[in-house]
Amino acid sequence: MTDIKTFLQEITAAHGISGYESAVAEMIVPVFAEYTSEVRIDKLGNVIARLSGTGEGVLPRVLLAGHMDEIPMFVKQIDKRGFIRFHAQGFDQRTLPAQEVVVHGKEPLFGIIGAKPPHLLAPADRNKAIKIEDMSIDLGLSPERVRELVQVGDPITIRRRSICLKGNRISGKAQDDRAGVAVILECFKQLQKLNFAAEVFGVATVQEEVGLRGATVAAFGVEPDIGIAIDVCHGEMPGVSEFDAVPMGKGPTIGLGANIHPKVHERLVQVAKENHLPFHVDPYPSATGTDAWAIQVSRAGVASAVLSIPQRYMHTSVETLCYDDVVTAGRLLAYFIASLDVAFVEGLTCY
């Protein structure tokens, strides 16, 4: 059986921006297959694994979604000296200078993001964050060779392997939201030990960061009764108040708000308490910004929920989480699924 912590570290090191997730999908398929009865990739690139429980008649259908795409960068321009100007979607631009990157041209090309050193900046600019338009990627190649191998529109990814810190913390890129994929895998692992009467679809979704597109088509195809998005939220860190962040290592957050079906929320809380699993309630006054926003309105509507892993330094190359929260979230989902029956699903239409 796959070691899930190792799996998380491996898939976060892989390269797969929104719309280019195939390399990550290829890593996920054989691992999901160890725990499920069927795994397929749909036309948009979602990895969909199915695991059926026991029971008579039509079983409740549960969709678990964790997106595998990472925030994207693209080649925007190649200047006359061979330096690459780029577009970055969603990155904290303060963290980009001096990053190692891979430009995915005709072949993978290692590069670094450079910027004008402080010695050459005007005094008024030395304490300001460098703008993305003032950064460039240096491949160490001649302008002619760069143009042979790279074209405008080629994807770019950060080059970084995750590392283990003390306190069972893991730090690296793309944990938003490949940690959600690891939670689904942990859920599948826990379900091997339980009796449950549901049909479970674990989906590593694509293109969440650019509009929830993978979840939109996955939910339409699966047509679940219940859909749960597993994503990340802001973990405690220096300079961030308790109002805006939650403790790490003390369980996932269970969403509550307009995007969340109240009865699914209540059952998740009940299951967590009954099984002595730590958790926090995370209120969302409107859109959650997760795959649940798309799942909720699929077809005639889906009872949706959000489970989030606290994470520091979101949208940087050193996103940091506590692996204990991944395990707890996976166990909570498994016990929640084991608690389901037809009566509960039929009752979701009545608030």
Q: Calculate mean pLDDT across residues 107-126.
A: 86
Q: Calculate mean pLDDT across residues 273-278.
A: 98
The model's pTM is: 0.96
Inter-residue contact 272 to 332 (CB < 8 Å):
yes
| 148 part of the active site | no
Give the per-residue pLDDT at 350: 65
Q: Calculate mean pLDDT across residues 196-215.
A: 97
User: How does pLDDT run across 76-99, given as a tens digit for each residue?
Assistant: 999 999 999 999 989 988 999 999
Asked if residue 313 has pLDDT above 80, the reply is: yes
* % of the chain surpassing 90 pLDDT: 89
Residue 107 to residue 109: CA distance in whole angstroms: 6
Give the per-residue pLDDT at 129: 80
Asked if residue 351 has pLDDT above 80, the reply is: no
Residue 174 to residue 346: CA distance in whole angstroms: 37
Task: Provide CB contacts within 8 A for 6, sequence distance 6+.
Answer: none
Give the per-residue pLDDT at 286: 87
Q: How confident is the model at residue 131 (pLDDT cuts 50, 70, 90)?
A: confident
Asked if residue 55 has pLDDT above 90, the reply is: no
Inter-residue contact 303 to 225 (CB < 8 Å):
yes
Inter-residue contact 75 to 150 (CB < 8 Å):
yes
SS (H, E, C) 118-142: HHHCCHHHCCCCCCHHHEEEECCCC
* % of the chain surpassing 70 pLDDT: 99
Asked if residue 215 has pLDDT above 80, the reply is: yes
Inter-residue contact 231 to 329 (CB < 8 Å):
no
Asked if residue 118 has pLDDT above 90, the reply is: no
Q: Calculate mean pLDDT across residues 176-181.
A: 98
Q: Calculate mean pLDDT across residues 110-120.
A: 88
Whether residue 69 has a cis bond before it, omega within 30° of 0: no
Considering 199, 208, 209, 319, which one is annotated as catalytic? 208
